[in-house]
Amino acid sequence: MDTNHEVFNQPAPLAGYNLFETNRPLRDALKFNAPTLDTAALVALGATLGTADMQTHARLANTNAPVLHTHDRFGRRTDAVEFHPSYHALMKLAVATGLHGSPWAGGAESAHVQRAAGFMLFTELEPSILCPISMTYAVTPALRSNTAIYADWGPGLTGRAYDPALKLWRDKAGLTMGMGMTEKQGGSDVRANTTHAEAAGRDNWGERYIVTGHKWFFSAPMCDAFLILAKTKSGLSCLFLPRVLPDGELNAIRIQRLKDKLGNKANASSEVEFENAQAWLVGEEGRGIPQILEMGTMTRLDCALGTSGLMRQALSLALNHTSQRKAFGKLLIDQPLMRNVLADLALESEAATALALRLARAFDKTGDPHEAAMARLLTPVAKFWICKRGSHFAQEAMECLGGNGYVEEGGEGVMARIYREMPLNSIWEGAGNIMALDLLRALRKADAVAALAHELAPAKGAHPALDRLAAALPVRVEEMASELEARRLAQDVAIAVQAALLFQTAPSAVFAAFCDSRIAGNWGQSFGTLGAGTDFDAIITRAMPH
């Protein structure tokens, strides 16, 4: 027998499992935030996302990158992006699930929480196609400021049909939207934008403008329409820019090139120029910044949700690998140091899930003063802290797989894709400094300190270190006069809220280990440095994906 080519001690791929049913932390967080929610749709989605067929679609959509075609063979401008069929298969599933607009369709209980859970699950499979999904979710409510446009576009933006064809809105079964804010000279400072728009009369959609300018990051350029910022006579205004004009002609949106990015490969991010493109005013002229900030709040929620989903998938891959692969006479998962690493990663993943879903609940109860205050506070906090932890988390999870995790091939090659994807959510929609500054602005509201204290109150007396942190935060908030420590404050608010949530949603072993390590200081400066008294068995068993 030729044993030279016999393959052994290589783990079976993580496939054919239900992402929702095997995710205890997510299910428990859902029970806390939406106790009467019917989870049947999430069970079905979890089963679909865990199939080998859908994993193949995710791989193919990333290895066959989008291709830009600026002209047809006769020299006419087309400005079209061609995607692999697997991209369209993934988009079809995401839209059919309602991740792009179900909360705006009306009638559903805890619609934002349910959508958030689905978004996290889908991210475990493939995050980059969710860019147009997230933007459609974020811009739809803003579009209501123009009742005529919303009357025409609203049904298509909330429907469950995916239609990638480039044609007139009324001829399509479903619609998606994007955003165009960032310019090469400004980045996060959109007030530095130079794209300008000249008034060109009024029609059925209201005030029409002719737009000239450039956008440095224009993601998902094959969406049916975009909300953009441009300077009008009254200042920066929000404009609705369709790909196809009401008369059926293509709008003058010139795609210059697609970005060659570190990750996010299945998504087409582009640079575009507007050459006398037509757009319509949304909202009040000169008030584009407030509208953009409102939309940014929702995409920042998705950043926190997305990173939480990526953490869960990285952890699942690490647990799947270490529970099958042997080294030095026993399974990796039974090695003491590996158990410490896995338990530490499990704590971080569950805390991220708890915080992200708690933020989603605030969007379901905007009429509640406390929930409105928590939305203001937790949006920058969750975006900052969860996304900031992502890259470190992915590197440590990859190390659990060793060289198998570093390659781009097969089931374990997903880990390399996760690692390349992780930095994006931290950068997109405002990097760490922007989030910390947003927190300072939120804390200046009169109800901010009281709202934070109310949020932490259920865990009072549960752990002495958490009590000390909770008692100190109001004083630090009131005395915060400098931006220099804003990141540290954002970190500590995030950890305190995560701990309070884990007290209410997780077993005592998870809560105690989180507080001992993240707050009391019984922790090193890398994952895998939990104290010896940690209940490793309980934490790892809870996190297992099978």
pLDDT in tens, 145-161: 999 999 999 999 999 99
Length of the chain: 546
What burial letters (b/e) apply to 244-260, b meaning 16+ CB within 10 Å? beeeeebbbbbbeebee
What secondary structure, in 3-state letters, does 136-156 show?
Answer: HHHHHHHHCCCHHHHHHHHHH
- pLDDT digits 0-9 by tens, 357-403: 999 999 999 889 999 999 999 999 999 999 999 999 999 999 999 99
Distance, in Å, from the CA atom of 418 to the CA atom of 299, rounded to the nearest integer, reads 19
Burial, 164: exposed, middle or buried (Cβ in 10 Å; 0-12, 13-18, 19+)?
middle
What secondary structure, in 3-state letters, does 257-309 show?
Answer: EECCCCCCCCCCEEEEEEEEEEEEECCCCCCHHHHHHHHHHHHHHHHHHHHHH
Task: Report the mean per-residue pLDDT for the chain.
Answer: 94
Q: Measuring CA to CA, how many Å separate 280 from each of 143, 210, 239, 248, 293?
A: 11, 9, 5, 16, 19
Whether the CB-CB separation of 275 and 196 falls below 8 Å is answered with no
pLDDT score of 361: 97
Q: Is the predicted pLDDT of residue 481 greater than 70, yes or no?
A: no
CATH classification of 175-287, choosing from 3.40.190.10, 2.40.110.20, 3.30.450.20, 2.40.50.140?
Answer: 2.40.110.20
The residue-averaged pLDDT of 218-225 equals 94
pLDDT score of 291: 85
The whole-model pTM stands at 0.96
Quickly state the pLDDT bin for 295 (edges 50, 70, 90): confident
pLDDT score of 65: 95
Q: Is the predicted pLDDT of residue 24 greater than 80, yes or no?
A: yes
Quickly state the pLDDT bin for 2 (edges 50, 70, 90): low
Of 110-114, 153-157, 382-386, 477-481, the poorest mean pLDDT is in 477-481
Of 1-5, 18-22, 463-467, 510-514, the poorest mean pLDDT is in 1-5
Q: Is the predicted pLDDT of residue 243 greater than 90, yes or no?
A: yes
Quickly state the pLDDT bin for 188 (edges 50, 70, 90): confident
| 236 token code pair | 């920066």
Please check whether the two domains, 175-287 and 290-543, share a CATH topology. Answer: no
The residue-averaged pLDDT of 431-435 equals 91
- pLDDT digits 0-9 by tens, 344-364: 999 999 999 999 999 999 999
The residue-averaged pLDDT of 222-236 equals 95
Q: Is the predicted pLDDT of residue 171 greater than 80, yes or no?
A: yes
Residue type, 345: L
Q: Is 230 helix (H, G, I), strand (E, B) or coil?
A: strand
Query: Where does 290-543 sit in CATH, by number?
Result: 1.20.140.10
Distance, in Å, from the CA atom of 252 to the CA atom of 242, rounded to the nearest integer, reads 10
41-44's contacts with Cβ under 8 Å and 24+ in sequence apart are: 41/97, 41/114, 41/118, 42/114, 42/117, 42/118, 42/121, 43/18
Domain boundaries, the chain: 24-158, 175-287, 290-543
Distance, in Å, from the CA atom of 531 to the CA atom of 521, rounded to the nearest integer, reads 10
- pLDDT digits 0-9 by tens, 29-50: 999 999 999 999 999 999 999 9
Percent of the chain beyond pLDDT 70?
99
pLDDT score of 409: 82
The residue-averaged pLDDT of 215-229 equals 94
Q: Is the predicted pLDDT of residue 1 greater than 60, yes or no?
A: no
Strand partners, 139: none
443-448's contacts with Cβ under 8 Å and 24+ in sequence apart are: 443/377, 443/477, 443/480, 445/373, 445/376, 447/369, 447/373, 448/373, 448/376, 448/377, 448/477
- pLDDT digits 0-9 by tens, 51-66: 999 999 999 999 999 9
